[in-house]
Amino acid sequence: MRKILLGNSDIQVSTQGLGCMGMSEFYGEAEPLNAYQVLKEAISLGVNFFDTADMYAYGENERLLSEILSQHPAREELIIATKCGIVRDKSQPTARHIDNSPEYIKASCDRSTLRLNTHIDLYYLHRVKDDKQSIKLAMQAMAELLSEGKIRAVGLSEVSADNILFAHDCLLTYTQGRQGLSAIQTEYSLLSRDVERNGVLDTCQQLGISFVAYSPICRGLLSGAIQSKDDLVVTDFRQNLPRFNQENLAHNNQFTQALAQLAQANNCTAAQLSLAWLSKHRTNVISIPGTKRIEYLRENVAAAAISLSQSDYQHLTELSDAFIVKGERY
């Protein structure tokens, strides 16, 4: 797996990472033993970039990663990204609120460090309040964490182009020009291309910030494996996502069918073609497909070797441009 520099840092990350959220919750029951095998296999295949968050299974996802970290002989070769900012309460599992206060950020960092039993390479604000003073204070806290060596780089998730610019400038100010934002994480796939239209991708390119694409296979929709809600277990949170209600799913799978035909012509799967398009579309994009299955991990990693022709790339882009996806992302 080829490695590249994470934006505005000295951190080398694999061009494809691994989203770990689904190993602990959201996509059905957690399977820790199977998750360990997937994580080990990912490392053996050259993946070194692992994405988690403090809110995934109330910290259990971070603890899962710590088990693998403790077994790896060269911790410095693995890059761990985690997040804070979305607060959950076990007594109200569906409730969420955003906290970007400096006190919360610092306390969350300490808690995540304890669960991971190591430093944090890339630390994100999971969601960002659309308030300049809040962003300013949050970046000051992040700068202090950088100076203390608790984190190596700073990122934001699901944020506007305007707030990226502002946060980047704030962080540069607080680090005396030494370090700006390193990563912006947002959903991005052939069926989720808002970041192209709202200036987020262009802003990242201009500022030298890496763009980390989560759900690059559109939460499995682009694989073609989900033809009905019956294909999802009852506890899978996609049961409640608009794109996966039966009417919208039937419509959205029309795109997947066209994708599958092109994939067959390229001797690959629809999921692999989706990942190949993403890597060709922008040079600063790092995808982090998530999976709980070794066979899907191997399939995703193999996509890094696909050389998509310019004509196929253009055809895919035009198909995506012309298709109107039904259902919001959340």
Per-residue pLDDT of the chain (330 residues; tens, 9 = 90+): 899 999 999 999 999 999 999 999 888 888 888 899 999 999 999 999 999 999 999 999 999 999 888 888 888 899 999 999 999 988 887 789 999 999 999 999 999 999 999 999 999 999 999 999 999 999 999 999 999 999 999 999 999 999 999 999 999 999 999 999 999 999 999 999 999 999 999 999 999 999 999 999 999 999 999 998 889 998 888 988 999 999 999 999 999 999 999 999 999 999 999 999 998 877 789 999 999 999 999 999 999 999 899 999 999 999 999 999 998 998
Q: What are the distances in angstroms from CA 244 to CA 219, 261, 284, 323, 329?
A: 10, 22, 30, 16, 10
Q: What is the pLDDT of residue 100?
A: 97
The C-alpha angle with vertex 269 and arms to 268 and 275, in degrees rounded to 5, equals 95
232 token code pair: 């999802």
275, 287 contact by CB (below 8 A): yes
The C-alpha atoms of residue 126 and residue 86 are separated, in whole angstroms, by 6
Active-site option among 27, 36, 56, 104:
56
Predicted model pTM: 0.95
292, 38 contact by CB (below 8 A): yes
Q: What is the pLDDT of residue 91?
A: 84
**Which 8-state DSSP code applies to residue 6?**
P
Q: Is 58 a catalytic residue?
A: no
The C-alpha atoms of residue 140 and residue 160 are separated, in whole angstroms, by 19
Q: What is the pLDDT of residue 69?
A: 84
Q: What is the pLDDT of residue 89?
A: 87
Burial of 117 (0-12, 13-18, 19+ CB in 10 A): middle
Q: How far apart are the first and last CA of the chain?
A: 32
Q: Helices (DSSP H) in the chain: which residue ranges? A: 32-44, 60-71, 102-116, 132-147, 161-174, 194-197, 200-207, 246-265, 270-281, 294-302, 310-322
127, 160 contact by CB (below 8 A): no
Q: Which pairing describes strands 183-187 and 210-214: parallel, antiparallel, or unpaired?
A: parallel
Q: What is the pLDDT of residue 260?
A: 94
- Which residues lie below 8 Å from residue 142, measured CB to CB, with a gap of 6+? 105, 123, 125, 151, 154, 171, 174
Q: What are the distances in angstroms from CA 96 to CA 231, 237, 239?
A: 28, 15, 19
Q: What is the pLDDT of residue 18?
A: 98
Q: Which pairing describes strands 49-51 and 18-19: parallel, antiparallel, or unpaired?
A: parallel
**Which 8-state DSSP code applies to residue 16?**
B
Burial of 74 (0-12, 13-18, 19+ CB in 10 A): exposed
The C-alpha atoms of residue 54 and residue 85 are separated, in whole angstroms, by 9
Q: What is the pLDDT of residue 47?
A: 97
Q: What are the distances in angstroms from CA 227 to CA 14, 195, 245, 295?
A: 32, 27, 11, 20
241, 327 contact by CB (below 8 A): yes
Q: What is the pLDDT of residue 5?
A: 96
Which helix (H) or strand (E) segment holds residue 79: the answer is: strand 79-84
Q: What is the pLDDT of residue 95?
A: 85
